[in-house]
Structure 1
């Protein structure tokens, strides 16, 4: 059933005149007549009685009119529900401890009451997250994806480069260093439990390892971040890597040391993926916020070749 024909019937029924309905709808009187005729053919009854003084609903038209109004009200409600800004912006931040989640939280604090839905998708890799954005499961996702792997229909903006820190316990040989270069990590075991083959972070750490000759592994079970902190505190040889914007908490007596990397500074290139042309006002505001508040990448930044520069 043609919604515009329904809208035209209601306009004629309420104004009593084809011309008045045409003026109200911004169409010609001939178009009004065609829509009414098509609607009457569709329902199989005459909905209007034409007189020299105008038109009024027939008996069938009187029964039909309230239902037509309900349909139009439902259509309007459906349209309102998906207009840009009418629902929360749904953003995938990958992990609530890491830099994208913290950046989105700072954005929210700068604009209290912003309609946001922050999620962590249960996806295996960037390709699945990309598909979720395409499908509309989420409006945007922070991922590290090569420009050549962004499919048609999506835009990608590299808005958040996160420098890496090394995290060690108090007994580690590098525990008292103010800064550490990747070259100084050679020969030290770097344990990052939870790296899954086929993920963008696995590709990142593989490139980091191959470029600087580092020993990075994910051997053994991953019992969570708290267990990782416990293990680091008790170890004189184990280290891990975390983003400078990542938020981890550990007991004071662990005395863990978070040491910036430099010369060069490896950075994790978070790209914001979103549907091309998406006009959601919160997405626009989030992108503007990240552009203006995110610190520039370090002058000695290193990223994998596939991330671009």
Structure 2
């Protein structure tokens, strides 16, 4: 499959118009039409439907689009593999609203000349495998989970202790508190449907529950943060934990409360992982930036699981 034809398809899908795609690609509109027609012949399906507003993807076009994007990413990785130091620095940060996202935004502001490629991998095994294969350069994770030591070629350093907060709706029994001790949370229902067994955050909350006798419920499907906020706002009996550096937005009418947890302050230990022999020149810059911005770890009055990387 011709990669330029696939690139033209993705450009047309993003633009919604063959003319705009042609301008983006610096080719003629006729060339775009010919490439799309050739791709449709190869695939045996219609990818676009012409409309008065431009070109809309058919159902087959929608199905093909994510695979086309992956083809382009694969081609970019292939080219970058023979151009050492010229490709973007690829970093996994799990989620776009996480504390790691804030760290990477700060790095980008400090070093706008460094090209970045941010990815979001779900579990630590995939992240470590991607680091070892060279698919990514670094990942933000909580390590090292019990029974899962890092491979010898992977280095890790703790870069951020993120304090936990309690998130409640306005009718919750603790909604009016300026802060709440961990001991005071015993007996309250803390709902966290995003906890998945086997992940590093599941290991973290398992230790938190065992240490302080808390009740965390991970029942029900995880429909994402918006659905979680809806439920917390409407259910006085439920609260949830969230990181103090996690960015969430909700309607003003929800009147949700972010309440600091104290005595001790549970902190989520974020570490940066990378392969020891990764030659990307920007990786050293990222590590130096995070080291300069990092505060102390295991500070007095805080709690983190004993397995968390401290170096």
TM-score using structure 1 length: 0.70
| Structure ID, larger Rg | 1
Alignment of 1:173-252 (within 5 A): 173-252=173-252
Alpha carbons of 1:79 and 1:203: their partners in 2 closer, same or farther (altered >3 Å)?
A: closer
Alignment of 1:97-246 (within 5 A): 97-121=97-121, 123=122, 125-146=123-144, 149-246=149-246
Question: 1:81·1:87 contact (CA, 8 Å) conserved in 2?
Answer: no
Report what 1:88 is aligned to. 88
Q: Secondary structure at the match of 2:109?
A: helix
Correspondence for 1:3: none
Partner of 1:38: none
CA RMSD in angstroms comes to 1.9
Kept in 1, the 8 Å contact 2:157–2:309? The answer is no
1:252–1:149: structure 2 CA closer, same or farther, 3 Å change rule? same
1:258-304 residue CA offsets vs partner (Å, 9 max, x unmatched)? 01111111111111110103232221111111111233345312111
In 2, Cα distance between the equivalents of 1:176 and 1:87? 50
CA offset at residue 78 of structure 1?
Answer: 6.9
State the alpha-carbon separation in 2 of the partners of residues 186 and 275 from structure 1.
Answer: 41
**Between 223-232 and 139-148, the greater mean CA deviation after superposition:** 139-148
The alpha carbon displacement at 1:174 in A equals 0.9
Instruction: Give, in whole Å, the separation in 2 of the partners of 1:308 and 1:157.
Output: 7
Retained in 2: the 8 A contact 1:80–1:86?
no
Q: Distance in 1 between matches of 2:309 and 2:154?
A: 18
Inter-partner Cα distance in structure 2 for 1:295 and 1:109: 19
Determine if the alignment matches structure 1 residue 304 to structure 2 residue 305: yes
In the TM superposition, what is the alpha-carbon distance from 1:80 to its structure 2 partner? 8.5
**Distance of 1:268 and 1:126 partners within structure 2:** 16
Alignment gaps of 5+ in structure 2? 1-77
How far off is 1:132 after superposition?
Answer: 1.4
The answer (yes or no) to whether the contact 1:90–1:117 under 8 Å persists in 2 is yes
Shift of 1:111: 1.9
Q: How many residues align structurally?
A: 230
Unpaired runs of 5+ residues, structure 1, are 1-76
Deviant stretches of 4+, over 4 Å: 77-80
Q: Distance in 1 between matches of 2:205 and 2:81?
A: 45
Structure 2 equivalent of residue 17 of structure 1? none
The residue aligned with 1:258 is: 258
Residues 108-135 of structure 1 show CA distances to partners (whole Å, capped at 9, x for unaligned) of 11222321001102x4x32232111111
SS at match of 2:201: helix
Cross-structure match for 1:7: none
